[in-house]
Amino acid sequence: MKLIQKLGIALMLCVGAASFTVSAEPLYDKMRGTTPLLEAPKPPVLGNAINDDVRRTRNYPQQPPVIPHRIDGYQIDKNFNKCMDCHSRSKAEISQAIPVSITHYQDRDGNTLGQISTRRYFCVQCHVGQDNVKPLVGNTFQDVDSVILNALKNPANSSKKH
Ligand code: HEC
Ligand code: HEC
């Protein structure tokens, strides 16, 4: 190979390497930080879950209510469901917990069962405890009451939407 060709190839390789390093800006995610997608980030230490026993307003009627008490160490596996020890219909009087609603006894065909439905067995799939921390991402959700109130205040805006 002629010297000039060798130089040309070397130059092309340099340009390629340079453009690669420029475009490979690390991805930043609020929860993962700059950990690459294929690597697991170090999990943050467990927080101090809110335990004030104050039931929170639901943002919409279908929202699974959040848990206002600690749940550390509550067993939920094929042998036992600690949550149902308090939240089942028959335990409500002793525990004063809100019994799970009828949807928790329904199978996917809408049949009401005598026991908690397997679809609702693993409570923490849907219900979560709360930590007293700053939200990681912003949220502009408005509940239906605010939407109705705004519509009453500005009837012109709301009629346009229909
Ligand atoms: C020792 C009894 C007890 C156990 C066990 C228990 N809870 Fe509760 N839970 C309560 C009581 C009592 C309340 C009412 C608010 C309060 O006192 O914290 C409640 C409130 C809740 C609420 C709020 C309901 C609403 O309408 O706002 C949710 C959701 C909930 N619990 C889920 C769970 C889940 C999930 C588990 C298992 C991981 C669990 N609870 C285990 C007693 C219990
Ligand atoms: C697949 C999601 C899902 C799972 C799993 C689930 N829930 Fe719920 N839960 C909901 C939703 C949605 C609501 C609110 C609407 C409703 O009642 O269906 C709710 C409501 C509740 C309420 C309030 C009931 C009321 O009448 O105000 C309690 C208490 C509760 N769940 C406890 C539990 C417990 C305890 C478990 C585990 C045995 C559980 N949930 C499993 C979705 C779920």
Residue 35 lies in a domain: no
Residue 127 lies in a domain: yes
Amino acid (one-letter) located at 103: T
4, containing H or E segment: helix 3-23
Is 85 inside any structural domain?
A: yes
* Higher-scoring residue by pLDDT: 118, 155: 118
Say whether pTM exceeds 0.75: yes
User: Which residues sit opposite 112 in a β-bridge?
Assistant: 106
Q: Higher model confidence: residue 123 or residue 138?
A: 123
Residue 40 inside a domain? The answer is no
Provide the percentage of residues in the chain whose pLDDT is more than 70.
Answer: 81
Query: Does residue 56 form part of some domain?
Result: no
Question: What range does the domain containing 70 cover?
Answer: 65-134
Tell me, yes or no, whether 126 lies in a domain: yes
CATH number of the domain enclosing 100: 1.10.1130.10
**What is the sign of the dihedral through the CA atoms of 81, 85, 91 and 95?**
negative
Residue 139 counted as domain residue? no
CB 86 within 8 A of CB 97: yes
- Answer yes or no: is pLDDT of 151 > 60: yes
Residues near ligand 1 with C-beta < 6 Å?
53, 55, 65, 67-69, 71, 74, 82-83, 85-87, 95-98, 123-124, 127
Q: Give the tens place of pLDDT for each residue, 67-97.
A: 999 999 999 999 999 999 999 999 999 999 9
In this structure, are residues 97 and 91 in contact, taking their beta carbons and an 8 Å threshold?
yes
Q: Is residue 82 part of a domain?
A: yes
Task: Print the SS3 string covering 64-93.
Answer: CCCECCCCCCCCECCCCECCHHHHCHHHHH
Hey, whose CA ends up nearest to atom 37 of ligand 2?
123
Measured from the Cβ of residue 140, the count of other Cβ atoms closer than 10 Å reads: 4
Number of domain units in the chain: 1
